[in-house]
Amino acid sequence: MRLGVLDVGSNTVHLLVVDAYKGARPLPAYSHKAELRLAELLDEQGAISPEGAAQLVETVREASQVAEDKGVEEILPFATSAVRDATNVEELLARVAAETGVKLDVLSGEEEARLTFLAVRRWFGWSAGRLLVLDIGGGSLEIAHGLDEEPDGAVSLPLGAGRLTSAWLPGDPPDPERVRALRRHVRAEIARTVGEFNRHGTPDHVVATSKTFRQLARIGGAARSAEGLYVQRELHHKDLEEWVPRLAEMTAAQRAELPGVSEGRAHQLLAGALVAEGAMDLYDVSTLEICPWALREGLILRRLDQLRAVEH
């Protein structure tokens, strides 16, 4: 069957169309993206502005039409941190449903972490042993740790690259004092989780997903995306240590010229790098392995599991 996952994230609205077969991995058939940066469209009261809501409605409507054009049988529509944390979330969801017919499922941060963990587990397989999984989104950082398909622990922290850039780093390039203040804030937030996760034991693999980690790995020398899904990609702590101070001195336009860095994400890259470096330091990780599967794939896998259960 052909499934569509409509991901209303903090940076982009992304429709991923996949062909799903019993006992086989989901095959991507089509991808449609629109940049909204919802995490940066919150007003002083924490609500998504009327203009932002109108943009969201139009983008969801367009994605629904694309799904129909591509023959999608079922859409799995969901929203993450930017919508979840908006003070006008109920009003926003009602408007999207009324004007597009799409009822967005707002995932909790812990659900995001658990579904991302499921995707990483399926990608790496049982032989990978105990996993520690990190995912930096536009609005939040998800961390999960475990041996099975359900992690032993999963948390979501308000440390997304878009959210932090908007709140802490307004300059271009940002003021060095603000960068240092953000670094302290990020590490204090992450440090609260370390004891709980360390209690579960040392991971056999530490894995990162998300665009932020892929871009950081790429500027550190990892293979281009054009070289395929199955090329091993890693992010090394020593490379990140060298790049963070360099990124802090660059303008967004200069960062956009780096290999693998998109113009739309360049302004967020420093905040994402500070989160990545803080997590690697505090969890004592020298190398992260990059996984191409993340939250969207986790939702697809869970839906396929549900369909198989109904068949049996």
> Which CATH fold topology does 2-106 show?
Nucleotidyltransferase; domain 5 (3.30.420)
One-letter amino acid at 177 equals: E
DSSP string of 250-279, one letter each residue: S-HHHHTTSTT--TTTGGGHHHHHHHHHHH
pTM, two decimal places: 0.94
Q: Are both 2-106 and 109-295 of the same fold?
A: yes
Rounded to whole angstroms, how far apart are CA atoms 44 and 47? 7
Backbone angles phi, psi at 158, to 5 degrees: -75, 60
Question: Mean pLDDT, the chain, as a whole number?
Answer: 94
Summarised one tens digit per residue, pLDDT across range 45-68 is: 889 988 889 999 999 999 999 999
Map out the domains of the chain as residue ranges. Answer: 2-106, 109-295
Alpha-helical segments (H) within the chain:
50-69, 81-84, 89-100, 109-124, 161-168, 176-198, 211-219, 237-249, 252-255, 269-282, 295-311
User: According to the model, what pLDDT value does residue 37 have?
Assistant: 83
User: According to the model, what pLDDT value does residue 157 have?
Assistant: 97
One-letter amino acid at 211 equals: K
Which CATH architecture does the domain made up of 109-295 adopt?
A: 2-Layer Sandwich (3.30)
With a cut of 70, say whether residue 190 has pLDDT above it.
yes
Rounded to whole angstroms, how far apart are CA atoms 230 and 211? 17
With a cut of 70, say whether residue 312 has pLDDT above it.
no
Summarised one tens digit per residue, pLDDT across range 15-24 is: 999 998 777 7
The token duo for 135 is 């995912």
